[in-house]
A and B are shown apart, each in its own frame.
Chain A
Amino acid sequence: MIQIKNFYHRLVSIMDFQLIFSVIALVFISFAAIYSAGNNYGMSFKYLSVQLLAFSVGFLGFVLVASFNYQYYKYLDKIIYVLSFVLLFSVLIFGSVKRGTRGWFDFGFISFQPVEIAKVMFILSLASFIDKKSKETGKVSFLISVFLMLAGHIILIMMQPDFSSTLSYFPVTLILLFVIGVRPFYLFCIVIFSGLAVGIPFLETFLNMQLQFLKSKVFLTNFSISLKTGWICVCIIGMILFLIICGWCFLWELKIRVAFIYPIILCASILLGYLSSFVVENSLKDYQRKRFVVFLNPRFDPRGSGYNIIQSKITIGSGKFIGKGFKKGTQTQLGFLPEQHTDFIFSVIAEEGGWVGAQITLFFYFFFVWRAFVIAKHARDRYGSLVAIGLTSMFMFCIMSNVGMVMGMMPAVGVPLPFLSYGGSSIFSSLCAVGILCSISMRKHTHC
């Protein structure tokens, strides 16, 4: 008994309190912001109590996960992956539909989104797979099996369909592959592939929206029309492929030997990217694509898809240096800001707390990410480092895309802001992830 007590005492004493401190600070900012945002709907207490409940459940999860040795996950990777698969699969059958997405388990008083926790589980199993195969990173079969793992999740999530949740999988996977030492060239090809697959439909949507604004500019109009009809696009792709082959031949003549496989892979990824762009285009609805690109110029559609971005920018900007004061933000309290307690919670903070408040919040996030990186550096084994990096990238992606979206510099994908946004599943899974990070940091000297 005393032994166990001593053991825990030792663990807790080397816990990363700075990380926990930043999380606690963010959670408190979240309580204040959600209270203020709910004021407009007269739901302050409901939102706050749900958030408090989620936080306490999440804290329980945090304690459990932190006290559990993360190294066991490495051996449980297959079970974890299958479990996450089952979760995602069962939500397609038993889940309830919210805003067109079948992604929720509804328990009456509270609902749960399994995607959030599935992400964390995916990182655990992926890190384990990569760690085990760390000697085979040069092989294409390794890459293929990683992407098959990824595809399993993506396909299930797209069937809900929940486009925005799938996005966070890609940067996490890429960064993990980069860290384990996969050649940057392969990663580059992957980026090109996915960039083309996603970029072409969105470019088309953007040009389509822009057309209404370009009646006078003849050249641009003609250009965008010919891009839309596709032939010019095919020509450009063909030309790029040709240039790549020529470049490779040129290097060969210069006696610079580049293996033949490289241009082939590059060309193949471009072609595949182009082809799969049609699939992406068909799988997304028109309003989704519009919402995604409207950040480039919200004035295209100020009352429709651009409305959220415009109002959010006004909300943030009007906060100025010290803000309008708690519960005094006019944009928030008069309801001009949409989705204020969930996706746009950062705007509420920036309006009512001003630049000072928003900057402090961002600093806490920065501090959190920095601590997570330190944990990754000092982890006991490679698996710990990989998991830490993976979780950090996930957080980073959420922060970046949410805060970027709110400030009008990123596409509008509805990614919740970790620790801040209202929503039980997000808070719970975020706290579990923090628990894993703590588990890694606590066990840097011990192996039990």
Chain B
Amino acid sequence: MVWQKEDKFSYEIFIEKHKTVFIFFVTLFVCLFVRLFYLQIVKGDRYRKISDRQRMHNTYERAARGIIYSKDNNTVLVGNKFVFIVLFYPFKQSRFPSDKSIKDLNKILGKDVKFMIDMSYKCGKIIKLADNLTLEEMFKIREKKLNLNGISVLKKSRRVYYYPEATSHITGYAGEIGPNEIKKSLKHDYKIGDYIGKAGIEKVYDKYLRGKDGGWQIEMNVRGRQLKGYKYVQPKIGANVYSTINLKLQKVAYEALRNSSTGRGAVVVLDVKTGAVKALVSCPGFDANKVGTRDFNKYLKDKKLSLFNRTIQAFYPPGSIFKIITFVAAVELLNINPEKTIQCEGSFKLGNRRYSCWCKQGHNKISLFSAMVHSCNVYFYKLGLRVGAANLKKYARKFHLGQKMEIDLPNEKKGFIPTPEWKKTKLKARWLHGDTVIFSIGQGALWVTPLQMACMMSAVANKGICHKPYVVDKIVSLSGDKIYSHKLNYEEKIDLSDGTWDLLHKSLLEVVESGTGIRSKIPGIKIAGKTGTAQNLHGYDHAWFVSYAPAENPEIAMAVIIENGGGGGYNAVPVGKKIYESYFNMKSEEIVKR
């Protein structure tokens, strides 16, 4: 085809240009197609999220945290109290609550609630009108709900710790989440203002305890006006935690510690058969109800370190109770005759230094057995030198010293066992025989936690089986499903010959019967234990008492330490006795009841 009145040539030129322009336009269209695809398919999810975010406004109603129970009688250790607050929330798009409804509200409350709206007020914003209503007031407001436009009553839960000081280190506490924690726990979607467990069970089992917040979801238009109906989601209460704590024992232990010589110290009571923690006390405790108030700051500055959980975070030199390990190592490795005696003259000379025994006059002729019973240092100095530092370390590690016990409480410390290599690299000094000597009676750079000592006793009582300690037995959700239960487990058994165990058990029993632990003797019950008086550079000696009972069929193992308490036999042992008394009283009461 050719144009009218034109030659073929000019038409052909035109067709060429026509084609170029057409291709150009097609390219432009392709650009649009690609861009559209990119925006809607590639980036669609992102933009959908943004568009949802800018129209949805959430108002949260905080879910109550779960309850923490004790083992005996399921007493509530930590619960919730509900308070009622009055809110102004204009669900029906009224911009102000009418004067009449404010007047009515004031009549009910007997107060003068003033309602102020400033320029920054946006429709749909919630304003708190009154706090801490009584039940009566709450019901009155609910009755008159029809008259009170735009005013609603909301239930708000508050955490209550019923046994504030005695159980504080086990239950821990919950508080408002800090900005750093939000960053750390992004995947668990915490938001500003949420409560999060900060210590103890509250922290470790936070994901079970916290529940799920409910609230209103409101769709707003660009001017901040609520348009469509709102969706209300009932908050989901958190799951209940059943701890292994025996509240009575815990209270007795706390009282005993508080009335001890310095009022600072720790007690750990373990169930030998399972590893369940029956009591875990660090004294002084704190009042977790004061979290977030000004009073709580006083704990932060407290010189007695009440927020510090001594049972798992404090390092103490074990002192004489480490002799159990020296004893075990010597008997296993050296084939010692326990009746053979050694002369103790009150001190031991090595090179030109003197290492003294606690008994200045000396124990005279003393055998291994009685050295254990009377805690003779000189005997163990000599024994330690024969066993050697490496073997002592090996046996200490077998009893889990220098390792975490993996208890389900936060911030557990692992303690420390000194070695020649460590001394060389860190202190740039050679390991001397003197180091071995003091290592063998649990001094020097040896650090343990009370929990480790309790576990050691539980292993001794069990002939080598040390169950992993735990504080939470089971967790039951609101609907009654068991969502967590503890499984018993222990790491490998401590492999010692039966003869060694028998000898150790006999000597530990004798410690309480006639030795340094005699003050814990309870008629009718055989207790086996060991006392310790650990010297430390920072002050008076620490008083230790580790034990288990009954000796023939062990049920509980215990470690007691009184910080700077002085002699173990005088100070720590009576605390242990009180706990045993209450434990066995409780048991006999139970039997009588049955």
Contacts and interface: CB of A to CB of B under 8 A. Distances in A.
A380 B5 CA distance: 10
B32 A362 contact: yes
Contacts of B10: 134, 382
B36 A373 contact: no
Given A181-B13, A334-B55, A403-B32, A317 B25 contact: no
B298 to A, nearest CB: 45
A314 B3 contact: no
A355 B41 contact: yes
Contact of B47 (A317, A378, A403): A317
A224 to B, nearest CB: 28
B44 A377 contact: no
Contact of B41 (A175, A320, A389): A320
B431 to A, nearest CB: 55
A396 B28 contact: yes
Given A336-B51, A382-B14, A366 B29 contact: yes
Contact of A400 (B28, B40, B47): B28
Interface in B41-76: 41, 43-48, 50-52, 54-55
A316 interface: yes
B40 A314 contact: no
Nearest to A385: B14
A409 B52 CA distance: 24
A358 B40 contact: yes
Given A317-B47, A334-B55, A359-B33, A179 B21 contact: yes
Contact of A330 (B3, B5, B45, B55): B55
A interface, size bucket: 35 or more
Nearest to B37: A355
B219 A334 contact: yes
Contacts of B18: 179, 373, 376-377, 385, 389
A407 B32 contact: yes
A393 B52 CA distance: 39
A211 B4 CA distance: 59
A358 B36 contact: yes
Interface stretch (B220-228, B338-346, B568-576): B220-228
A315 interface: yes
B43 to A, nearest CB: 5
B396 to A, nearest CB: 56
A242 B211 CA distance: 75
A226 B35 CA distance: 35
B382 interface: no
A207 B39 CA distance: 27
Contacts, number: 132
A207 B175 CA distance: 48
A247 interface: no
Contacts of A17: none
A409 B17 contact: no
B51 A330 contact: yes
A275 B175 CA distance: 67
Contacts of A447: 4
Contacts of B46: 317
Interface residues of B, number: 44
A16 interface: no
Interface in B212-254: 219-223, 227
B29 A362 contact: yes
Contacts of B31: 404, 409
Given A181-B13, A369-B25, A381-B6, A318 B44 contact: yes
Contacts of A304: none
A178 interface: yes
Contact of A396 (B25, B44, B219): B25
Which applies to chain B's interface (DSSP): helix, strand, loop or mixed? Answer: helix
Interface string A385-405: 100010011001001100110
A317 B221 contact: no
A380 B51 contact: no
A352 B40 CA distance: 12
Contacts of B4: 380-381, 447
A34 interface: no
Contact of A404 (B20, B32, B40, B221): B32
A350 B17 contact: no
A228 interface: no
A378 B51 contact: no
Nearest to B42: A317
A320 B49 CA distance: 11
Given A178-B17, A382-B10, A404-B32, A317 B48 contact: yes
A336 B43 contact: no
B222 A335 contact: yes
A354 interface: yes
B15 interface: yes
Contacts of A378: 1
Interface in B267-285: none
Residue among B20, B40, B44 with the most chain A CB within 10 A?
A: B40
Contacts of B21: 175, 178-179, 373, 389, 393
Contacts of A362: 29, 32-33, 36
Contacts of B220: 334
B54 A407 contact: no
Nearest to A338: B222
A366 B25 CA distance: 9
Nearest to A335: B222
A365 B223 CA distance: 35
Contact of A407 (B13, B39, B50): B39
Nearest to B47: A317
Interface in A304-350: 313-321, 330-331, 334-336, 350
Contact of B3 (A179, A321, A381, A403): A381
Nearest to A373: B22
Given A334-B227, A335-B223, A314 B22 contact: no
A8 to B, nearest CB: 22
B3 A331 contact: no
A381 B14 CA distance: 11
A362 B33 CA distance: 8
A175 B223 CA distance: 45
Contacts of B14: 179, 382, 385
Contacts of B55: 330-331, 334, 336
Given A179-B17, A334-B55, A373-B18, A321 B44 contact: yes
A318 B48 contact: yes
A230 B220 CA distance: 48
A73 B43 CA distance: 49
Residue among B20, B36, B48, B54 with the most chain A CB within 10 A?
A: B36
Given A314-B47, A373-B18, A389-B21, A334 B221 contact: yes
Contact of B48 (A320, A369, A382, A399): A320
Interface in A129-157: 134
Nearest to A361: B36
A97 to B, nearest CB: 27
Nearest to B220: A334
Given A362-B29, A382-B3, A316 B51 contact: no
Contacts of A377: 15, 18
Interface string B97-127: 0000000000000000000000000000000
B222 A336 contact: yes
Contacts of B39: 313, 316-317, 350, 407
Given A334-B55, A336-B55, A378-B1, A317 B223 contact: no
Contacts of A179: 14, 17-18, 21
Q: List the 10 closest A-B pairs by CB distance, nearest first.
A: A317-B47, A320-B44, A318-B51, A334-B221, A335-B222, A355-B40, A318-B48, A381-B4, A318-B47, A317-B39
23 contacts: A178-B21, A179-B21, A316-B40, A317-B39, A317-B48, A317-B50, A317-B51, A318-B47, A318-B51, A319-B40, A319-B44, A320-B48, A321-B41, A330-B55, A336-B222, A359-B36, A362-B29, A370-B22, A373-B22, A381-B3, A385-B3, A385-B14, A407-B36
Given A314-B54, A380-B3, 7 more contacts: A178-B21, A181-B13, A321-B41, A350-B36, A350-B39, A366-B29, A382-B6
